[in-house]
A and B are shown apart, each in its own frame.
Chain A
Amino acid sequence: MSVTKAPPAPEAEVRKPSTRRRLVPYWLLLPGILWLVVFFALPMVYQASTSVQTGSLEQGFEVTWHFRTYWDALADYYPQFVRSLLYAGTATLLCLLLGYPLAYLIAFRAGRWRNLVLVLVVAPFFTSFLIRTLAWKTILADGGAVVDVLDGLHVLDVTAWLGWTENNRVLATPMAVVCGLTYNFLPFMILPLYTSLERIDGRLHEAAGDLYATPATTFRKVTLPLSMPGVVSGTLLTFIPASGDYVNAELLGSTDTKMVGSVIQTQFLRVLDYPTAAALSFILMAVVLIVVTVYIRRSGTEDLV
């Protein structure tokens, strides 16, 4: 499906639309925007308010403009923050490295198998990701086939040296968590990449070949630059949810691999320390928004759709 913005139809004569017609877009927008304002924007305000409150569930909470909560939260949970960004960044890079060849394959080399491969990429979406993540417990189990192969290839020696595994086991290590994150968000990388690659005119590759470019040069000078919108979309759609994820860390990791999402969940739902939880949530939001904004500016592709 080719997505191109249709050129505006030339106006036979310029005249002001009637008042009723001018209001049509606002009527179309009103219900959806109201929903987002009330249930997305307004909650952010309440969260900000909660973060500067003090008190407890028994005594009640009141706004005391207690900004120190932010510093306390950062001091207490700095390792979880750094770990979350590191895991999310690593998973995003791996998604790009693993996803790009598959997207390229579907767009240019799959031929009549294209639809089947696309089905296999999309179908996992409709199976519970929790169930599929639990399956990694079996796949990465000690003494399992996968771990034995990795051990035999001495991959685990390298990862142990990097600090990502220990004692030839994979479960309950950073490697398992990153593996789960990469797996879960891979479709969000592949689909934007595929959409972007599909739009490239095959004749551009032929032209590059006619000008004696090697396949590697063609990729570096033609394919990759033209697919950058897909790369940007894919990396954002992967990094953003991964940074706040805690499911993979809980299911495949250990207490040493907890991510900040897990802390936020614990503080809100078990410890019931709402101000700290809200502050952590706000810090995470701020960090991610800053990263996203800087990334979009530097990549030069501000139109994500």
Chain B
Amino acid sequence: MPVLRMLRRNLVVIAGLLTLAYMILPNIVVMVFSLNRPVGRFNYAWQEFSLDAWKDPCGVADLCGSLSLSLRIAVWATVGATVLGTMIAFALVRYRFRARGAVNSLIFLPMAMPEVVMAASLLTLFLNMGAQLGFWTVLIAHIMFCLSFVVTAVKARVMSMDPRLEEAARDLYAGPVQTFVRVTLPIAAPGIAAGALLAFALSFDDFIITNFNAGSTVTFPMFVWGSAQRGTPVQINVIGTAMFVLAVALVLVGQLIANRRKSNAGH
């Protein structure tokens, strides 16, 4: 009975941990199979331990080329979406103006649209324009669908800002530009950073919109998709593992910096 009561009390913890395990399991499998030497073209069954793939992660034609292309697109999409999105977020929170409802709707709709619909409609636009499908059409598409998420993230942060801080700056004779650079921007920075990170992740990992609008250009997700049909090299697992480890490390470092800043602020 004590065991049963303990179980009952911690049911939420157990259920939560099971969900967490479910979420992490594929990453574990990706890591383990990056150390596999598969028989045949597909890396789905464990055969033999090997570090060959880690020694030569770019040993598959076009793999690292597609990876660097995806990184370039993601960086520029992040810059574009973050700049445009931050401006929109400030306008929405800090000003009253006509057409505010329409703007809010225009921001919300891309998030309420299945990706395949946006992908298909963009393709019809580019076909009608006679645009050459490739790097630029993909970049345009990525900025478009990342914008809404940046606006949402930055808007949430700006709404939680205390306007009295900016009033204090003005009372001390700071001009609008100085107030923005010294007070507003630093306080909004966490929201902007969150929006930028989200945009980067969404852009780098996008497959559906890219697939429709890339023409013969091959991004990393498209390379992985193609390999799922033709044969999955172990190097793909190496890249996947490296991404996961890097992501965990970056987020943990971010947490440490945030915690240090908090403890400093406490003094």
Contact = CB atoms under 8 A, between A and B. Distances in A.
A274 B120 CA distance: 9
B236 A28 contact: no
A32 interface: yes
B220 A128 contact: yes
A296 to B, nearest CB: 9
A134 B112 CA distance: 27
Contacts of A177: none
Nearest to B242: A127
Contact of A37 (B106, B112, B118, B160): B106
B220 to A, nearest CB: 7
B224 A131 contact: yes
A25 B84 CA distance: 13
Given A123-B251, A132-B27, A2 B221 contact: no
A300 B14 CA distance: 32
A131 B30 contact: yes
B115 interface: yes
A44 interface: yes
A2 B160 contact: yes
Contact of B167 (A2, A9, A25, A122): A9
B152 interface: yes
Contacts of B17: 102, 105
A142 B240 CA distance: 24
A109 B10 CA distance: 10
B193 interface: no
A67 to B, nearest CB: 17
Contact of A135 (B30, B95, B110): B30
Contact of B16 (A39, A102, A305): A102
A115 B236 contact: no
B135 to A, nearest CB: 15
Contacts of B61: none
Given A29-B103, A101-B15, A141-B45, A125 B115 contact: no
A132 to B, nearest CB: 4
A261 to B, nearest CB: 4
B113 A119 contact: no
A274 B124 contact: yes
A36 to B, nearest CB: 5
Nearest to B127: A274
Interface stretch (A71-79, A156-164, A283-291): A283-291
B249 to A, nearest CB: 9
Given A119-B252, A141-B45, A50 B124 contact: yes
Interface stretch (B47-55, B138-146, B181-189): B138-146
B114 A40 contact: no
A183 B163 contact: no
B161 interface: yes
Given A25-B97, A281-B117, A4 B160 contact: yes
Contacts of B109: 40
Contacts of B45: 138, 141
B114 A285 contact: yes
A6 B160 contact: yes
B208 A123 contact: no
A160 B109 CA distance: 39
Interface string A27-38: 011011101110
B172 to A, nearest CB: 17
27 contacts: A3-B157, A24-B95, A26-B91, A28-B91, A33-B106, A36-B106, A43-B121, A49-B124, A98-B19, A101-B12, A102-B17, A102-B20, A119-B248, A120-B20, A124-B27, A128-B205, A129-B205, A130-B207, A131-B237, A135-B29, A136-B26, A141-B44, A247-B208, A261-B208, A264-B120, A278-B124, A281-B117
Interface of A: 1-6, 9, 22, 24-26, 28-29, 31-33, 35-37, 39-44, 46-47, 49-50, 98-99, 101-106, 109, 115-117, 119-139, 141, 183, 186-187, 236-237, 240-241, 243-247, 250-251, 261, 264-265, 268-269, 274, 277-278, 281-282, 284-285, 288-289, 292, 304-305
